Structure 1
Amino acid sequence: MMFGRFLLVLCVFLAPLRALAAAPSDLPSLYFVCAAASEAAYGGELPELLRARLAAAGWQIASYETPGYKGTVGRFFHMVRRSEDGGETHLIAFPGTERGSDVWTNLRLGRAAFGGTTPAEFLAVRDTRVTECKETPLVHRGFLDYCQAALFTDALPAYGNRTAGEVIADELRAHPAAQVFLTGHSLGGAAAVLAAARLSDMGVPAEQLVVTTFGAPAVGNGAFVRRYEGRFILHRVVMRGDPMKDVLAAPLGFQQFGEREAWTPARSVAKFPHAMIVYVDAAIRRLYDAYGGDNAFLFLMGTPNRAEGRMLYVAPIETALDETLAEDAPYMTAVLRDALHVRNAAVVFAAGSGGLSEEGLLSGLNEHLAAARAAGAEEMVAYRIAGAKIRDAHETYRLTLERAVYDMDGNLIAAGSHSARTGTLTPIETVLYLLAQD
């Protein structure tokens, strides 16, 4: 599939992307990649970190937004990964609510008719008089205008002066073995569902359309569900306590459908069940639960290699966390290990436990130095993650990442620490943010 210039704003594990291309039934990988894509579509510290890592890895980046009906601004991110054998995995991510125009889009609660097989017909059906005929698919007017503006209204130079939706549909019909993955959070998830329905009406078979939404509201009435259920693959991820999933059921009579995946937020982030960072946090946990901390996928591709090819020995990563954060510790150390593995051309991790700051510092230091020399390492590094709740701040923590570097004679040659508050990031994500500052 050749889509011209592509947008790629995505934090990914390398292996999940390969698994996603080869085996979409690998749900932990699918959920993580889509969650990361949905988060990266927003502004803020974590999305900025994710974009920088992917740009450094050589991914092509472009962005698209087009004005629509009554001030609606449709935005989407078209993401692609090319494998060494020439294969491609395509992902369309729609941002959720973060602009004033998005708020007004959400508040436009009128119902609009949904149907047609071409962009011109889509607009004509949308503008017809809404009836109460039970077999007329009706959808949220604001969500429809958002999706319509993004993919099916304006001809874009990057897509050969056609709408992006037309090009995507043509490519999928021409390549029956190809798939496109559509994703988004909240408003973005609603747009992803409507985009898949539009592509289905343009003749794309169900098996080529894979949709994963996070905390997305229902988009249409019973007639919409009856017409489109089964016409694309829909994974609907819902966090326990997230109110958005039911917000439009009563006032508009809309219904959810698709395969419902129920997640539970960690104790350390339970205050924010609708936030996309919480969905990303849960996706990371589920990925490591599925594959194990020592065998989990490589993270943050494209980080500069500080070791410049030298062998690095990493002592056991220590944690000093309060009770609420204790359950996060295995995931914090796992993502830190993976990030270090990618960051250094050659790295050896110490077996077992027993960090350098524990009792018996000298004996522990000598033991690890001996292991580092045996591995041919030129430097040894020790990391410690500390964290505690901030007084009078509900579910907000101060995390610190400490680093000490030793030469093979046991001399301390470098040391440093970075700290940050959680809130805009979850504790697990904050560890990765702190490593990026190191």
Structure 2
Amino acid sequence: MDSIERKLAERRERHIDFLKQLVSLNSSVIDMGRRGNELCAQELIESTLSSVGADIDRFEPDNDAMRGHPEYNPGHSYEGRPNIVGVIKGAGGGRSLMINAHADVVPAGAEGWLCPPYEPRIIDGRLYGRGACDMKAGGAAALMALETLHECGIKLAGDVIFESVVDEEGGGNGTLACCLKGYKADAAVIPEPTGLSIMPAHMGWLFYRITFSGKPIHCAFKWKGVNAVDKCLDFMCRMREVERNWAISKRHPYLPPPTLCFTVIHGGDSSSTVPEKCVLDMSLHFHPCETENGRIGSRIDAQLRDEIARFVGSDPWLSANPPQIECFQQGNAYDIGEDHPIVTCVRGCLESCTGRRPEIQGLASGADARLLTNFADTPTVLCGPGSIDNAHSINEYVPVDEYLAAVHMFCKLFTEWCGTAE
């Protein structure tokens, strides 16, 4: 590690400049991932992987191959949106490690930024720009670690697989396509922004669209009609009670309780008419234990539908005109446990590089870790620079020192987990 640390100090500005270059590329998704601009970032990542001796597999996700998979998100086009997978073959005898990073970012907007979102700047030790935190700093840190090892002439014993995927922000089809192509490893790290905490678990999600019907009439005679918006509001009050009960009864060591969030509501057509229809979108985030027999979130989904049935049964109008319930998107949870060898190894490497004992936490949202763990037989941990609290935000940033610490950590992780050739 002495030669590695000298090289890290020598190449500090190179590592910062590479992150700036990556953040300057507008690789945003469009329309929730249905289209995207990832190619510019993917070409930079591909050339960097090639320069460190990786064998490159460049391919666009195949909708036909993914169709029918429980985690597939339909309606997305991948023309000109390739995944880049770089494989650095080890000398043999070591464990393989996968790094999975997404090249896409959410749209930036233009108002309120300290600097233009694709003209990254360092201000008070923070590198600002769209994607700096989520998650170009994490992917760049792992790439710069591989470059550092290459420049030091260090040959790893185990293989390294670097997946730079598209469309993570649109649901994960990029990583799903890698899984279906057969890429797997003994373990994986996804360098999502965790503040260099270690996250061996994340929540799953179910997104529902619930449509309430009413009886329209002139609003001056509202008692003669049935207000679909009122029925929806009554439902929302009932769901808050359900969420409170789950907060008491459903616990996990490092994940928050399940949550219900009302995200979109549309009701009514005219200011003078009792609404005939109201449509509510609602998200449910759940623990790993709620999936049964491979059916995503099946246990808590059944509980939710039972609660809805009781609510509907208590209302004569809704009993005769029950709301329509559609689950339009789903993603599984996962948990490999805090004692898994990859968790222990990452924790030791971080402690060695930073001098502090990193926390074990869980991610309250979702990530692609569930795909690698559940469908590619690759136990996965989340760990990277930056805070999830400012991902997707105006003035998104990553602390420069945290990014550089991540480069150091990945250097140590590659040598510790994969081993080095004699």
TM-score tier, shorter chain, comes to under 0.3
Taking structure 2 as the reference length, the TM-score comes to: 0.25
> Which protein, 1 or 2, shows the higher relative CO under an 8 Å CA cutoff with sep ≥ 6?
2
